[in-house]
Structure 1
Amino acid sequence: MQAAATGALIDDAAWSVAARTAVALADAKLARRFDAGAPADRLIALRARAVDVQVRAAWQRCFDEAVPLALFAVGGYGRGELFPHSDIDLLVLAEPAAQQQGETALARFNAMLWDAGLQVSMAVRSAQECTQAAADITVVTALIEARPLCANDADVARLADAVSSGHLWPPARFFAEKCEEQRRRHARFGDTSDNLEPNLKDGPGGLRDLHLLGWLALRSFGARSLDQMIELGRLGFDEAAALERERRALCRFRYGLHLVAGRREERLRFDYQKPLAARLGDVDDADSLGVEKMMQRFYRSAAIVRRVGERLLQRFEEYFAGIQPPEPLDTQFERRGDYLATAVSGWLEADPAHVFAMFAAWAATPGLRGLHSQTARELALALPLIPAYDEAPASLREAFMQLLRGPQAVATLERMARLGVLGHWIPAFQRVSGRMQFDLFHVFTVDQHTLTVLRNLASFASGEADPRFAITHLVWPSLRKPELLLLAGLFHDIGKGRGGDHSELGAVDARTFCEAHGLLEADIALVEWLVRKHLLMSVTAQKQDITDPDVIHRFAEIVADRQRLDYLYLLTCADIAGTSPKLWNGWKDRLLADLHTATRLALRRGLGQPVAAEERISENREAARAMLLAEGHDDAAIAAMFARMPQENFLRSRPDQIAWQAASLHLAAAGEAVVASRAMSGRDGLEVLVHMPDQDGLFAAIVMALDRLGMSVQQARVLDAPGGAIHDTFHVLPVDTRQAIEPARLANALAHALVGDVGRMLPARRSQPRHLKHFKVAPQLDFIDLAGGTRIGLVCTDRPGLLADIARVLREQHLRVHDARIATFGARAEDLLLVSDEHNHPLSPERCDALRIALLAVLDGDIA
């Protein structure tokens, strides 16, 4: 008996080895067919069939035909779909007595499959237990797609009855719960498919959204195919064709992802994007990276799935809630529930002008959730009839401009973009739709970034103060024609992906568009200039010292007038804030607001009368003095405070900064160290003052200490104060944006860290984020001699602790730091540092060479 059991185990082991080999050979063959271009939806069916063979064979080894157990494939396997590393979900249907009787054989069956390399998830339930388990919406969803593997007709009928809508989850309730489930699922991904690392299965517009439509069709109508939905009148031929086309595309993405990952992976992470693009045949060219082409196809597929899916879900909603009688709005439009519909079927296809009329009616009717599904389908059919603007009659161009000048202009542009109209009207916009940029700076596709910028502009128009933006609500009312700013926002990135300078290309497109729409030459020139110069204010604020009167004067000369300044300021705020949720902060807000204010004053004064440094110093001293007098300080105390501060500080700082610094010094005796901190105008930034006796390596120690305290330095100004002291100011942000640090707590912690021998302090060691290895920036260094030192221009891959490592090198080279401006653009760091030798002289060529070697050794190290 024991020998027989041992022999059976040996036989099972040999079978599992053979089965593992057979599955591996089948997978390898399917992978070769995939690389040869075979449709992935066919391959997943073939893989399911190959696994069926092994699962049935294992079952037959463990059970004879008389055993009262039935085997079903459920979930995706039940649909007959198996991707290279998908789970294999099984259900054994058996009554309690049969379960007990077959317990040993079931364990043997499960072990054989796992030994064969099949990742099996198996549930054993009676019909009653299936009904009980199906109270969970996830379970019933898997069971309604059950496919018999080793089961007779009676078993199939028994399982179908156990999970039928007569027992639980009637169609209306099933629909409501699955829609809520989808809403929660989409929310996990920010309700957008345009993520940098999208989830191909569960993300918005992914395969799960297609599965949802299938589950609803099956539960509601018993329909197992799109053809059956067409026959029932719930789906159009064109819609079914679109869904099937995108299903095949998404299947190919997911199949390839499993192959390049070598495991079950649904998130298209940076680690896999380039290998997958190469496997799919996408290659780099002069205009685009192969990975960008691949991602654009995915984003477009996901957008179509969402667009058509929303129509179908609306029809399910109407089916369960009942069709409400239409409420006429005028002779062309009516309201059906919360949706806008055309009064006459086919009206949209009769004339492209009707499409623009529909968007005007939509904008004029508050409370609408969207277009009625039938009208949305008619719009999709009418899209090919919409001409490009340069081929359209003047009346149609005027209709578009009326939409831009009318109510809900930005919402209308968003709707037109989402429904495909804007891409037909402006072909250049279609080219950037779904276009991603393979970096960490732009977290949205170009079209979604553009729409986000437009939404930001619309928020400025509300007239309400926004804590994120100091003065945008005050600047907006000065705009002569707000629609010109919307046009600039629409075109500012439209030239991307064509090679060359996208600002220049976009400016040409913007002028051509404006001319075709009959704008006045002055308005055309403004829009063209805004698109061409849309990066100017950002670069000036972040890379130059805007407290320098010469910088302000040069910027004002380019801007030339107050109108351009206001338009450019609003566009810049909207652009930066619309690039990444993490990019905008209180420090950038203050920089741009200060640059706007300083430039406005320079323009008011006149470009022929630039501000002299002495005049700026005098103005700032007097303004700060007035603030301190208001706080109760007398003239003698104020004079004593000012005497401890560097003269240059009155040129480089705002009056409120000077007053705060002076008040901080007042609390300490001369020669004592002062470390102070205060919140900046935004909610997420702090200003730090360090005034203490100078010593070698002090700047490096401060930077390292701030790094250890979880703060990222955005700007540093290092000045020599009277009496051998330093007067250093820093603008810092918490590395963890969820972290709230009180100014007093930060100041105390920093002061404690700077006690003792600061020359021994070393940068903190930490692991580097995984994604940085995919976005390495080749280090670039340049050295320019200026009055009082050498300016180092540094470009490299950003990483935690970068500035602390740079500061350590400067300390080891015995250099003095006088100014530092830190700019980060995704994975790219662009820093400017003004340094000198021990005598405050520019660096000699020999010292520049030594510094270059030392910095490159730090910057060019492998990212772990």
Structure 2
Amino acid sequence: MPAALAAATDEAAWREVAKAGLVSGRALLRQRFEAGEVADRLASRWCAVADDIVRSAWARCLGEPEGIDLLATGGYGRGELYPQSDIDLLVLAGPEVQQARQADIGRFFSMLWDAGLATSQAVRSTGQCVEAAREDITVLTALMECRVLAGDEGAVARLAAALSPEALWPPKDYFAAKREEQRARHARFHDTAHNLEPSIKEGPGGLRDLQTVTWMGMRLYGVPGLRALVPLGLLGEDECASLEREWRVLARLRFGLHLLANRREERLGFDYQKNLAAMLGLKDERRDNLAVEQMMQGFFRSAATVMRINDRLLQRFEEQLSGQEPPQPLGDGFELRHGYLAMAEPARLGRGFDAVLALFEAWDVQPGARGLHSETARALGESLGAIRPYPEQPEGLRQRFMVLMQSPQAVAALTRMARLGVLARYLPAFGKVAGRMQYDLFHVYTVDQHTLTVLAHIDGFARKADERFGIAHEVWPRLRKPHLLLLAGLFHDIAKGRGGDHSELGAVDAREFAGAHALPGADADLLAWLVEQHLLMSVTAQRQDISDPDVVARFANKVADREHLDYLYLLTCADIAGTSPKLWNAWKDRLLADLYSATRFALRRGLENPVHATEIMAETRAAALERLLGEGLAQEDVERIWAAYPDVGFLRYRPEQIAWQTQGIAASGGADTLVLARPHLHDGGLEVFVRTPDRDGLFAALVATFDRLGLNVLEARVLNSSDGFALDNFQLIAPLGRAPEPAAVESALRNALRDPGKVRPPRRAAPRQLRHFRVPARVDFDASADGRRTRMSLVCTDQPGLLAGVAQVLRRFHLRVHDARIATFGEKVEDFFLLTDERDQPVADQALLDELRAAIVAGVDGESRDGKKEAEH
């Protein structure tokens, strides 16, 4: 290309040659990328293409002038250029030369932009560089990595001397500023690399972390790169090799992402993940081990390694800068250095798991330690290969591991072991799920991170640390052996990605672990049962009507006793809360607590003596009446209102809900339409009660109005009074936690109820992320347990206005909704409805059900396609 650029007769011809060179260069890069060429060679090739264009433009605009130099800085300066990265340029010249050549310099930058090279440029003298660097540490950092593109080769050395630590930003100040910069950057990503759409460059464990410690080494020790820290004893040879290996992984991902996006994109978003995995040559192995999941697992593992070594290096730099400090002996060969736990002889760790376990035992009794000393952490990392899996460990060491699991600091110990790679060696099944993601919107963490989050919630139950769990702190003290719950949390998802039912496979792993660690038979049985049934309570609570005594009885029979119930309840709470920070809410807390309480009562009564609906209704009626009398209502007024109230209401509602509804009816003065709304259970939560003459389209109008108000329906109870009124109760939540005022909700609903037939759901585009996940719509019908209703289940992709749209279809078929349970799991919706025909009879016409199924599937799939098209436009 240099010859073709030089031969161009004018700037227009030059521009076309440069553009063509960039296009052909990127095409060649993609070919070489897909052929497997390593990232550093690709980056060098692309840098050479940019150099040719930049130098040619400089020669055309400025020739070979005296007193003015052109430098590449930043990533371009170190020769690391990605397909869509900016090229960082510095024109170095005194003020007089800058003024004299201003037009030529401007023309030079314009030529680059016109050719298609995005530049980040500065025109400064050496003194101006010093002042800019003094004010902004990012300027200094960019100028630490520069090379001459045109002009005097000595310019770099002169600039480096002017920017030396003696002149500005001495090592301590530079270290403190860059460390704080990294902390702030990590905080933007919630201090974890385990995001669904991680940033390869800026996120924790990303390329910027590698660059940060490189810059620190350059500034603090005057070395040219990370490898130069090895002879200084600051970086181990194995650590350096690990960082170089992970840089190649991350750089290749970033390179491919730029090629795929055809723009500067640093976030590994859903728009690109599948296609990038294909570019890397990965193939789907099974439904639970997709190519995209393999790619992301590789990324998360690389990021974890970078974070570990980054932490060690920062600690070593800090110690070097703060000077020597006498260690504080702790006994048994351990000491505190600068507040970090250290082994006096870290080489002991290479002898096997005995010394490694001793390290974690010492850490267990020093919870105030700032962390593991970098030398000890480095020795531990080097010793990982010597740690054998638990079946190969002596019985005494396995028993010491179990003692550690029974410590008050057990969760902290497990978390440390996981972060430092020890747990994956001792328990290889855990190593297989390290960094494993699930390609959906429901599981926001990798499997190992989810597991550690579940354990953290369990630890919180013991410490009563989270008020969001209403009764967990009451249940926890009843556990016979709390460490069995920790082990259940450790194993509950450990078999994901293997193919087959992960609950069943995990139960096998748990039983083998229990046998090897000499757990008593009853404990082993309980542990295996918890792992195998860890979804039972969640599924029952969220997909079935737990106000139905038969549902509770079936669940109680599976649980069988109080002990299993206590453990399962706490594991379920921790599992749901540990799946996503946004998943747990007070409605789920109440739902699980209600199922727990009803099951406890059933077990206490005896499984051979099931609770009957009539008993529950009588108890609810008595409790509600007591409340209402205490509020000043006359019993005859209450009985008059209840005379038309359906008996099943006393089964489905709590006493306080019955009292709230009854008070509203009494205060309405006989008005035809009553709408009540109140904040309920959690931030952004509302409960709404509507009493209005029953008519077609009522349910559809109500849910469409909720949709317009930005409220999601969690649960709908739709009853009918004997005097012709619909009695509809809804549990609602505002997704962003900002619900409208109750008065505004009441007003909107009253307006809608004036003419329900005219209310239509709003049309909105689906969120961007949902476009990448398709769940085939499926509609199934069966009879309710009592045979009086038709149960419809809907599984499909989530989308705006889904429930309102389904309600419109049901209205078109003249079907009544008597109950609705709405559950969303990321991109997947699992909704359940109880239906009847207009005569309140189950729907017996199979042809009608087939037609209904087809209409709902067509509506759901059509909305999904329309939403995708609208979002794309």
Q: Normalized against structure 1, the TM-score is what? A: 0.97
Does residue 76 (structure 1) correspond to residue 45 (structure 2)? The answer is no
Q: Which residue of the partner structure matches residue 86 of structure 2?
A: 87
Distance in 2 between the 1:360 and 1:439 partners? 38
Q: Is the 8 A contact 1:17 1:115 kept in 2?
A: no
Q: Which residue of the partner structure matches residue 769 of structure 2?
A: 771
Q: Is the 8 A contact 1:467 1:682 kept in 2?
A: no
Equivalent AA in structure 2 for residue 410 of structure 1:
V
Q: CA deviation at 1:51?
A: 1.1
Q: Is the 8 A contact 1:468 1:682 kept in 2?
A: no
Q: Which residue of the partner structure matches residue 511 of structure 2?
A: 511
Q: Is the 8 A contact 1:331 1:343 kept in 2?
A: no
Q: How does 1:345-744 map to 2 (within 5 A)?
A: 345-463=346-464, 466-737=466-737, 739-744=738-743
Q: Which moved more, 1:680-689 or 1:68-77?
A: 680-689
Distance in 2 between the 1:66 and 1:704 partners? 72
Equivalent AA in structure 2 for residue 273 of structure 1:
Q
3-state SS, counterpart of residue 230 of structure 2? helix
Equivalent AA in structure 2 for residue 520 of structure 1:
P
In structure 2, stretches of 5+ residues that fail to align are: 1-5, 869-873
3-state SS, counterpart of residue 231 of structure 1? coil
Distance in 1 between the 2:352 and 2:853 partners? 66
Distance in 2 between the 1:799 and 1:670 partners? 39
Q: CA deviation at 1:750?
A: 2.4
Q: Which residue of the partner structure matches residue 859 of structure 2?
A: 858
3-state SS, counterpart of residue 461 of structure 1? helix
Q: Which moved more, 1:721-730 or 1:785-794?
A: 785-794
Distance in 2 between the 1:397 and 1:582 partners? 37
Distance in 2 between the 1:430 and 1:699 partners? 50
Distance in 1 between the 2:504 and 2:100 partners? 78
Q: Percent identity?
A: 56
Does residue 44 (structure 1) correspond to residue 43 (structure 2)? The answer is yes
Q: CA deviation at 1:372?
A: 0.4
Q: Is the 8 A contact 1:356 1:400 kept in 2?
A: yes
Q: Which residue of the partner structure matches residue 3 of structure 2?
A: none
Q: CA deviation at 1:608?
A: 0.6
Equivalent AA in structure 2 for residue 319 of structure 1:
Q
Q: Which residue of the partner structure matches residue 341 of structure 2?
A: 340
Q: Which residue of the partner structure matches residue 167 of structure 1?
A: 167
Q: Which moved more, 1:352-361 or 1:273-282?
A: 352-361
Q: CA deviation at 1:642?
A: 2.1
Distance in 2 between the 1:55 and 1:85 partners? 16
Q: Is the 8 A contact 1:434 1:445 kept in 2?
A: yes
Does residue 213 (structure 1) correspond to residue 227 (structure 2)? The answer is no
Q: How does 1:194-273 map to 2 (within 5 A)?
A: 194-273=194-273
Does residue 845 (structure 1) correspond to residue 842 (structure 2)? The answer is no
Q: Is the 8 A contact 2:717 2:728 kept in 1?
A: yes
Alpha-carbon displacement from aligned partner over 1:65-93 (angstroms, at most 9, x marks no partner): 23321100011101111111110110001
Q: Is the 8 A contact 1:292 1:437 kept in 2?
A: yes
Distance in 1 between the 2:166 and 2:755 partners? 79
Distance in 1 between the 2:403 and 2:45 partners? 55
Distance in 1 between the 2:171 and 2:368 partners? 28
Q: CA deviation at 1:632?
A: 2.3
3-state SS, counterpart of residue 346 of structure 1? helix
Q: Which moved more, 1:743-752 or 1:669-678?
A: 743-752
Distance in 1 between the 2:9 and 2:764 partners? 50
Relative to 1, partners in 2 of residues 1:583 and 1:289: Cα closer, same or farther, differing over 3 Å?
Answer: same
Distance in 2 between the 1:149 and 1:852 partners? 68
Relative to 1, partners in 2 of residues 1:345 and 1:452: Cα closer, same or farther, differing over 3 Å?
Answer: closer
Alpha-carbon displacement from aligned partner over 1:380-423 (angstroms, at most 9, x marks no partner): 11111111011110011011111101131101100000000000
Match of 1:785 among 770, 783, 786: 783
Following TM superposition, the consecutive aligned residue runs of length 4 or more in structure 1 with deviations greater than 6 angstroms are 7-10
Q: CA deviation at 1:10?
A: 6.5
Q: CA deviation at 1:159?
A: 1.8
3-state SS, counterpart of residue 71 of structure 1? strand
Q: CA deviation at 1:8?
A: 13
Equivalent AA in structure 2 for residue 616 of structure 1:
I
3-state SS, counterpart of residue 253 of structure 1? helix
Distance in 2 between the 1:656 and 1:579 partners? 32
3-state SS, counterpart of residue 860 of structure 1? helix
Q: Is the 8 A contact 2:71 2:91 kept in 1?
A: yes
Distance in 1 between the 2:331 and 2:93 partners? 62
Q: Normalized against structure 2, the TM-score is what? A: 0.96
Q: CA deviation at 1:789?
A: 3.0
Q: CA deviation at 1:369?
A: 1.4
Distance in 2 between the 1:749 and 1:452 partners? 41
Q: CA deviation at 1:24?
A: 2.5
Distance in 2 between the 1:9 and 1:47 partners? 22
Distance in 1 between the 2:665 and 2:362 partners? 63
3-state SS, counterpart of residue 371 of structure 1? coil
Q: Is the 8 A contact 2:351 2:386 kept in 1?
A: no
Distance in 1 between the 2:71 and 2:643 partners? 86
Distance in 1 between the 2:304 and 2:821 partners? 40
RMSD between aligned residues: 1.5
Q: Which moved more, 1:600-609 or 1:135-144?
A: 135-144
Alpha-carbon displacement from aligned partner over 1:726-781 (angstroms, at most 9, x marks no partner): 011111100323x1444344333323332x21101111111111111211100101
Alpha-carbon displacement from aligned partner over 1:327-377 (angstroms, at most 9, x marks no partner): 000031000011000012412123421111111111111321111000000
The aligned length equals 855
Q: CA deviation at 1:611?
A: 0.9
3-state SS, counterpart of residue 710 of structure 1? coil
Q: Is the 8 A contact 2:92 2:126 kept in 1?
A: yes
Q: Which residue of the partner structure matches residue 328 of structure 1?
A: 329
Q: Is the 8 A contact 2:685 2:739 kept in 1?
A: no
Q: Which residue of the partner structure matches residue 101 of structure 1?
A: 100
Q: Is the 8 A contact 2:733 2:739 kept in 1?
A: no
Equivalent AA in structure 1 for residue 96 of structure 2:
A
Alpha-carbon displacement from aligned partner over 1:775-821 (angstroms, at most 9, x marks no partner): 11001011123433321111100112100111111112221111111
Q: Is the 8 A contact 2:776 2:796 kept in 1?
A: yes
Q: CA deviation at 1:64?
A: 2.8
3-state SS, counterpart of residue 10 of structure 2? helix
Distance in 2 between the 1:118 and 1:204 partners? 29
Q: Which moved more, 1:479-488 or 1:119-128?
A: 119-128
3-state SS, counterpart of residue 642 of structure 2? helix
Q: CA deviation at 1:839?
A: 1.0
Q: Which moved more, 1:610-619 or 1:533-542?
A: 610-619
Distance in 2 between the 1:836 and 1:531 partners? 38
Q: CA deviation at 1:653?
A: 1.1
Q: Which moved more, 1:821-830 or 1:780-789?
A: 780-789
Distance in 2 between the 1:679 and 1:393 partners? 58
Q: CA deviation at 1:676?
A: 1.0
